[in-house]
Structure formats: C-alpha cells, structure tokens
C-alpha cells in the first residue's frame, strides 16, 4: 500500500511539473514519416527549403483561401503574432500587413535557409515589422508572455518534439492569448495531400488537451483545411 501511494504521489508530481503524458515510441518509418509516434500518430517529415516554390505557388490562393484563414485568426492592428514554422513567409507577410506598424510578426523557423528567403522577400515588400527568429525543434526562442497570437499553418504535424515545442509556444503566449493550428483535413478524399501531412480535428484537440489551453472554435468551411483555435488558460 505504501508503494502504491508513493507511485500515485510521484505520478501527480510529474503531471504538475509538465511532464509528457505519454512517451514517444518508434516504428518502422513510413514513406513520409520519421518513424516516431506521439499519441498514436506518426510524425511527418519536415518540408525543407526546397519546397518553398510550392508554398508560394500561384494556385495557393484558390486552393487554400488564405483570406478566410486570416479571418479565422482574428488578427488585429498592433498585435504581436508568432508565425511558427513560417517557411517562405507566405503568411508572415500577410499578417504583417494587418498588424501594421504598431504590431510585430515573429517569423519563426528551424531552417536558416527558410529565414534567408523571408529576409530577402521582406526587403522586396518593404515590411519592417517582421522579425525572423531561428528556433530549435523544441523551442521557438520567443520571450515568455510576449505573444498575442501564435499560428501554425500546416506545421504542427511535422514537429519532431510536439509536446516540448507546444509547451514552449504556449509559454510564449500572454494570458488569454490565442493559438491557431491550420491542418489539412484527414480522411477527406477531396484533399490531395499525403496522409501524414493531414490531421483530424479530434487528434489535434487530443494533443492540445495536455497543455493549459481551452478550445475556442474550429473553422471547417475551407476548401482543404481546418483552423482549430485555442485560448491560453
């Protein structure tokens, strides 16, 4: 009985300390995965800077309706917004135009080559309110409590350390700030995206439930994607 009580106390202590609720596990990698499971989901391979032309394709405006995605973000002038996994800066540029001169966009990525692409385009678009930030797979390198909104557009499913990375991202949010995850809809035959690069709303909400977040709403009427919004408790 004493050992049982001790085990329960230790388990509770780990939960309060923010330890992962489930261990990562390994499997034989699938074609598009890294062979690492989190909550039963295989993590997808990261799109490298070689995929930047696809991110900037002319068809993206019609296929993904970024205007509707931005509306779902509820970006406002003067906000500090973190674009996590900013890639080529497709959304960083658009968000920067909305937050204006009094706002800031942190374009965060783990790939220096992606950040160089963003910096090149910033000079071309004369946007002075975007700051590039080199992250690590576990940490976006953002100051605690500094962000009004964090967005991850088709990024979360590629995070090598989803628990640790999200813990750090949530730490960067101000109290009551929002987090928006955009993911291609899994199981939809009309979405021409590889399986590991899609997620169900249920899976996203399950994985966010281990963080101090509350679900706010989900925008489901996009052509291929869904926007799942949370608020920091």
How far apart, in Å, do the first and last CA atoms of the chain sit?
36
Looking at residue 21, the DSSP 8-state letter turns out to be S
SS3 207: helix
User: Per-residue pLDDT for 65 more than 60?
Assistant: yes
DSSP string, 74-129: T--TT-EEEEET-TTSHHHHHHHHHH-TT-EEEEEES-HHHHHHHHHHHHHHT--S
Angle between helices 201-208 and 162-172 (to 10 degrees): 70
Express each pLDDT in 186-227 by its tens digit.
Answer: 999 999 999 999 999 999 999 999 999 999 999 999 999 999
d(CA 24, CA 185): 24
What is the arithmetic mean of pLDDT over 89-101? 96
* Predicted pLDDT of residue 123: 83
Q: Which two tokens stand for residue 105?
A: 């966009």
CATH of 46-232, one of 3.40.50.150, 1.20.140.10, 3.40.50.360, 3.40.50.2000: 3.40.50.150
User: Per-residue pLDDT for 16 more than 70?
Assistant: no
- % of the chain surpassing 70 pLDDT: 91
Local confidence band at 19 (pLDDT 50, 70, 90 cut-offs): low
User: Per-residue pLDDT for 2 more than 60?
Assistant: no
d(CA 46, CA 53): 15
Contacts of 30-34 with C-beta under 8 Å, sequence gap 24+, read 30/196, 32/194, 32/195, 32/196, 32/197, 33/196, 34/160
Report the chain's C-alpha Rg in angstroms: 18
Query: In the predicted model, what is the mean pLDDT of the chain?
Result: 91
Number of C-beta neighbours around residue 129 at 10 A: 18
Q: Are strands 225-232 and 173-185 parallel, antiparallel or unpaired?
A: antiparallel
* Predicted pLDDT of residue 125: 80
Q: Which two tokens stand for residue 116?
A: 């160089």
Which of 168, 186, 180 has its CA nearest to residue 228? 180
Local confidence band at 5 (pLDDT 50, 70, 90 cut-offs): very low
Local confidence band at 21 (pLDDT 50, 70, 90 cut-offs): low
- What residue spans of the chain are helical by DSSP H? 2-16, 52-55, 60-64, 66-73, 90-99, 112-125, 162-172, 201-208
73-105 as b/e: b if 16+ CB within 10 A? bebeeebbbbbbbbbbbbbbbbbbebbeeebbb
Of 224 and 14, the one with more pLDDT: 224
Residues 107 and 89 sit within 8 Å (Cβ to Cβ): yes
Local confidence band at 10 (pLDDT 50, 70, 90 cut-offs): very low
Stated pTM of the model: 0.89
């Amino acid at each position: 009985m004493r050992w049982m009580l001790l085990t329960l106390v230790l388990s509770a202590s780990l939960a309060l300390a923010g330890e992962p609720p489930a261990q990562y596990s390994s499997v034989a990698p699938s074609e598009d995965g890294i062979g690492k499971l989190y909550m039963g989901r295989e993590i997808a391979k990261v799109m490298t800077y070689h995929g930047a032309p696809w991110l900037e394709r002319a068809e993206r405006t019609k296929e993904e309706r970024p205007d509707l995605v931005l509306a779902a973000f509820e970006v406002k002038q003067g906000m500090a917004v973190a674009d996590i996994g900013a890639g080529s800066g497709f959304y960083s540029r658009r968000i920067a135009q909305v937050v204006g001169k009094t706002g800031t966009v942190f374009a965060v990525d783990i790939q220096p080559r992606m950040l160089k692409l963003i910096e090149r385009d910033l000079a071309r678009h004369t946007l002075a309110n975007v700051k590039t930030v080199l992250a690590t797979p576990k940490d976006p390198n953002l100051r605690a409590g500094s962000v009004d909104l964090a967005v991850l557009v088709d990024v979360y499913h590629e995070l090598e350390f989803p628990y640790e990375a999200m813990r750090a991202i949530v730490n960067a949010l101000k109290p009551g700030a929002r987090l928006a995850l955009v993911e291609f809809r899994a199981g939809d035959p009309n979405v021409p995206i590889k399986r590991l690069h899609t997620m169900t709303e249920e899976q996203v909400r399950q994985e966010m439930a281990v963080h101090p977040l509350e679900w706010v709403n989900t925008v489901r009427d996009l052509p291929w994607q869904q926007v799942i919004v949370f608020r920091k408790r």
